[in-house]
A and B are shown apart, each in its own frame.
Chain A
């Protein structure tokens, strides 16, 4: 691995909720173009760590830097502006709104009308670009006005990823992207993640599915009791190896 500057680095990041320390002094470097899987049992601290990276919550201690420059994400919007987009399981989309409306939610395109300062939604351009993002992900849906609730689970993930592409996010955090999906849909989502990687984007993947992790990730980070205790390239690790590391970590923590 080349020793380039990390795209994102965490130093001594801790997050406590009152007396409960969910994340303890985690150092983590994410390099451009990597797929990093964060694993660990329930309560290991991965969700809390992700909330800090995505700007949903501020760390109790520690610092974040992007390309070596210190950053602080006070909100998901600030993280988005720095190119860090998070796809939250179940929370990402408005089911009854259209594909185009979902992709451009909160960042709608407008065009001037009549007067220079009077701007209206540019629905045609949003449809066209939404279609572009989806086809970038090799997902074809005929009608960009179709409500998201009428799409399959995999297609919905593609819509959520399209929103990250619309923000031109460099780092895309995916929280259990295949958790609720069947076999075929899971394969589609894994393909989506490979396309993101091929496109040069960096993906942080939170997953309980060790086979997904082995199939996709370049590196695995395992957490237990709020600490990071494994951080290594996947190499020839098998799904079982990772599962064992998670369990032995639990044994250590207990």
Chain B
């Protein structure tokens, strides 16, 4: 146990180390990347992605896909901003964002476990509905205004010397990690995702676990929405649209590290950071705007290829 097996090290930490090298590279070579302001901005920017991606990771943990996260977040942000525009107190707007996330998460869970619709289809449908509702509420125009500090401070302020956004990310990360690693519910979610039938025969309420996974995905989308709206003092019907691919990339890249082949919390958060560093660093180095999309696609495909080959190596041969 004491001697390190380099294959294990590469399999578990290879892409994480590559991520660290990438961060170091930008710190040294990208003009202005290493400024405190920029680093804080990258961290803040990471928090939206990390929280949303953690939701996707929890759905993935119960072996379901939630492709509605971005549209759910957009709709939740729009409802949230709408209430702020109508002078409702911030707490009502926050509750609305969370409520929309939970409602759509529950709706997905109902469709997948009760109506037995594959999550790929169910959540695509939910995404379309959410998108339509968001445009209906806004009539296609973003809500923008001088929003009360009581609301915007959720995302813009600092506490204990740290940006609130970063604290939100830390809290959600700890919650997700603790749930999966420390609780029975988490263990049941993992078992459900790994072997649905074995879990059911072992007495686990697998349908309930899938509903919990999708519900939490919706909750995290709601939290992301609230933070996005508070951070930008605005809410647009497509404001989180770009996040879906990034969140999927973060989860898949995260699956190449720490616990290869499995959606995992530390991997997802670190991968979210790497993706944001990459995006920011590329801009700082003067790369064209479309370079990010190409890199993102390569990361999505490359991550899955890497995981697949890592799993082949791990498989027992009789």
Is B210 positioned at the interface, with any CB of A under 8 Å from its CB? no
Determine if B184 and A96 form an interchain contact, defined as CB atoms under 8 angstroms apart: no
Determine if A101 and B187 form an interchain contact, defined as CB atoms under 8 angstroms apart: yes
Determine if A96 and B261 form an interchain contact, defined as CB atoms under 8 angstroms apart: yes
Contacts A96-B194, A105-B191, A106-B188 given; does A76 touch B201 at CB 8 Å: yes
Determine if A93 and B198 form an interchain contact, defined as CB atoms under 8 angstroms apart: yes
Determine if B191 and A149 form an interchain contact, defined as CB atoms under 8 angstroms apart: no
CB interface residues, A 119-175, toward B, < 8 Å: 119-121, 147, 149-153, 163
Is B294 positioned at the interface, with any CB of A under 8 Å from its CB? no
CB interface residues, A 79-134, toward B, < 8 Å: 80, 86, 88, 91-97, 101, 105-108, 110, 119-121
Is B262 positioned at the interface, with any CB of A under 8 Å from its CB? yes
Tell me whether chain B's interface is mostly helix, strand or loop, or mixed.
helix
Is A186 positioned at the interface, with any CB of B under 8 Å from its CB? no
Closest chain B residue to A155 by CB distance? B316
Please report the C-alpha to C-alpha distance between residue A120 and residue B187 in the assembled complex, in whole angstroms.
10
Determine if B316 and A76 form an interchain contact, defined as CB atoms under 8 angstroms apart: no
Residues of chain B within 8 A of A121, CB atoms compared: 181-184, 186-187
Please report the C-alpha to C-alpha distance between residue A196 and residue B90 in the assembled complex, in whole angstroms.
64
Size of the B side of the interface (Cβ < 8 Å), in residues, is 25
> Closest Cβ of chain A: how far from B178's Cβ, in Å?
8
Is A77 positioned at the interface, with any CB of B under 8 Å from its CB? yes
Closest chain A residue to B194 by CB distance? A94
Please report the C-alpha to C-alpha distance between residue A101 and residue B190 in the assembled complex, in whole angstroms.
10
Determine if B262 and A96 form an interchain contact, defined as CB atoms under 8 angstroms apart: yes
Contacts A106-B188, A120-B182 given; does A149 touch B316 at CB 8 Å: yes
Please report the C-alpha to C-alpha distance between residue A77 and residue B206 in the assembled complex, in whole angstroms.
13
Determine if B315 and A105 form an interchain contact, defined as CB atoms under 8 angstroms apart: no
Determine if B314 and A91 form an interchain contact, defined as CB atoms under 8 angstroms apart: no
Chain A CB count within 10 A is highest, among B181, B200, B202, B203, for: B202
Determine if A94 and B203 form an interchain contact, defined as CB atoms under 8 angstroms apart: no
Determine if A153 and B187 form an interchain contact, defined as CB atoms under 8 angstroms apart: no
Determine if A80 and B195 form an interchain contact, defined as CB atoms under 8 angstroms apart: no
Determine if A94 and B195 form an interchain contact, defined as CB atoms under 8 angstroms apart: yes
Residues of chain A within 8 A of B142, CB atoms compared: none
Residues of chain A within 8 A of B315, CB atoms compared: 149
Determine if A91 and B197 form an interchain contact, defined as CB atoms under 8 angstroms apart: yes
Determine if B183 and A107 form an interchain contact, defined as CB atoms under 8 angstroms apart: no
Contacts A93-B195, A96-B194 given; does A88 touch B187 at CB 8 Å: no
Closest chain A residue to B195 by CB distance? A94
Determine if B184 and A151 form an interchain contact, defined as CB atoms under 8 angstroms apart: no
> Closest Cβ of chain A: how far from B218's Cβ, in Å?
25
Closest chain A residue to B178 by CB distance? A120
Determine if A105 and B314 form an interchain contact, defined as CB atoms under 8 angstroms apart: no
Residues of chain B within 8 A of A152, CB atoms compared: 316, 318
Is B204 positioned at the interface, with any CB of A under 8 Å from its CB? yes
CB interface residues, A 45-93, toward B, < 8 Å: 56, 76-77, 80, 86, 88, 91-93
Closest chain B residue to A126 by CB distance? B187
Determine if A94 and B184 form an interchain contact, defined as CB atoms under 8 angstroms apart: no
Q: Which of A76, A97, A150, A151 contacts B194 (CB 8 A)?
A: A97
Is B245 positioned at the interface, with any CB of A under 8 Å from its CB? no
> Closest Cβ of chain B: how far from A162's Cβ, in Å?
12
Residues of chain B within 8 A of A147, CB atoms compared: 314
CB interface residues, B 174-226, toward A, < 8 Å: 181-184, 186-188, 190-191, 194-195, 197-204
Contacts A106-B188, A150-B316 given; does A91 touch B198 at CB 8 Å: yes
A-B contact pairs, 5 of them (CB 8 A): A56-B201, A97-B190, A105-B204, A149-B314, A152-B318
Binding site for A on B (CB under 8 A): 181-184, 186-188, 190-191, 194-195, 197-204, 261-262, 314-316, 318
Binding site for B on A (CB under 8 A): 56, 76-77, 80, 86, 88, 91-97, 101, 105-108, 110, 119-121, 147, 149-153, 163, 182
The 8 lowest CB-CB distance pairs between A and B, nearest first, are: A106-B202, A94-B195, A106-B203, A94-B194, A77-B203, A120-B182, A105-B202, A150-B316
Known: A94-B195, A147-B314, A163-B202. 7 other contacts (CB 8 A): A56-B201, A76-B203, A91-B197, A94-B199, A108-B184, A121-B187, A149-B314
